Homo-oligomer: A and B are copies of this chain.
Amino acid sequence: MTAEPVRAPHALPGFARSTVDGYAVRAADTYGVSEGLPGYLTVTGAVRMGAAPDVTVIPGTAVSMPTGGAIPPGADAVVMIEYTAEAMLGTIEVVRPVAPGEGIVRADEDAAEGQQLIPNGRVLRPQDLAMLAAAGVTSVRVHARPVVTVFSTGDEVVPPDTEALKPGQVRDATASALAALVSDAGGTPVHGTPKHGGIVSDDPGALERALRAALPESDVIVISAGSSVGTRDETASAVAALGPPGIWCHGLAIKPGKPTLLAECGPGTDTGTAGAPGIPVIGLPGNPRSALVVFRLIGMPLIRLVGGCAAAPPEPSTRAVLSRDLASATGRLDVVQVTVSNGVATPLFGASALLSVLTEADGCIVIPEEATGLDAGTEVTVTLYA
């Protein structure tokens, strides 16, 4: 994302260009011509692509032009080749008049010198790269990608490449998915720190030590917390131990995702400055599915914000009709996973511990806080997983 507006270092395209194949002429020489009464012009030269014109168009003359070629001095229009014919060697007849400026892109028509080409705060799109290349701008000041350190906590959590699980163990499912979501939001995911691997045990103090080590190197910290009350408490106390500003909230009116912790930890990069911002910390629920739902809702916008992006990019979505009634408690935001087929959204249910609900889903619908549910047949907006 750009951190400053980019301005045109010179006018673009920089010289008047032909938009058609044809002949550069003085428009006045074509006034009144028609199929029945063609005008005749002497061809005095040809413009080559990429070269400066070496001929001037004077009254009664024309210069052969390729599309994109530089308009020679004296010409103020280009007549399309389709409206000309070679009358004899070195002479063309013109059967349709052109107005001044016709068939021409002005030297500053794409951009005047100093004009803004790309606004501040834009995630550069393919066409923006084209414009920058056209202007010869090959480096742009951009916001740094926020470094997002991800920790997974819990004595039960083992790395994904663990072949045989011991009873009670689960592989770290959330970290890989979080890394992908962090990248999608413009961040650089880091799984743990060199001294503290991404998986942190429930030992008292282990998480606090890991967080302390990560703070100076992180712009955002994400803790995929253990799911039990005990590990949730450990997350909260580890975060609290890192000092002010402290915990913003512990628990959100979202389903799934209630046991989410939001905090701001320790001094930021401006160490020692009173009131310096801390590092945002998100403690996610232990269930991978809840964690991923909450991270899409809250974590990704936070990372975009830290990365300088105030507005969420457009997401793919579709309108669909709900296949069945959906209950929802008032005052709670519900995120429901759905499949979509032939314009019908079918909700997927299952314990929030189940990942299969997410992998089967085509997208999700959000039931807002004020709703008490949605009736079958309601038209809903489904945010699609791309």
| Given A67-B227, A154-B50, A109 and B184 contact (CB-CB distance below 8 Å) | no
Instruction: Check A194 for interface membership: any CB of B closer than 8 A.
Output: no
Using C-beta atoms within 8 Å of the partner chain, give the interface range for chain A.
Answer: 35 or more
Q: Within residues 151 to 191 of chain A, which ones have a CB less than 8 A from any CB in chain B?
A: 154-158, 160-163, 165-181, 184
State whether B316 touches A286 (Cβ < 8 A).
no
State whether A136 touches B160 (Cβ < 8 A).
yes
Whole-angstrom distance from the CB of A135 to the nearest CB of chain B? Answer: 8
The residue on B at minimum CB distance from A340 is: B314
Contact with B along A108-146 (1 / 0, CB 8 A): 011100000110000001111111111110100000000
Distance in angstroms between the alpha carbons of A110 and B229 in the assembled complex: 23
Pick the residue among B15, B126, B230 that contacts A177 (CB under 8 A).
Answer: B126
Contact with B along A234-246 (1 / 0, CB 8 A): 0000000000000
Pick the residue among B19, B70, B314, B355 that contacts A134 (CB under 8 A).
Answer: B355
List residues of chain B with CB within 8 A of the CB of A369: none
Chain A contact residues, CB within 8 Å of chain B = 12-15, 17, 19, 21, 47-53, 66-70, 81, 105, 109-111, 117-118, 125-136, 138, 154-158, 160-163, 165-181, 184, 202, 226-231, 286-289, 292, 313-318, 350-356, 358-359, 361, 384-386
- CB-CB nearest 5 A-B residue pairs: A66-B228, A50-B156, A314-B316, A52-B167, A130-B177
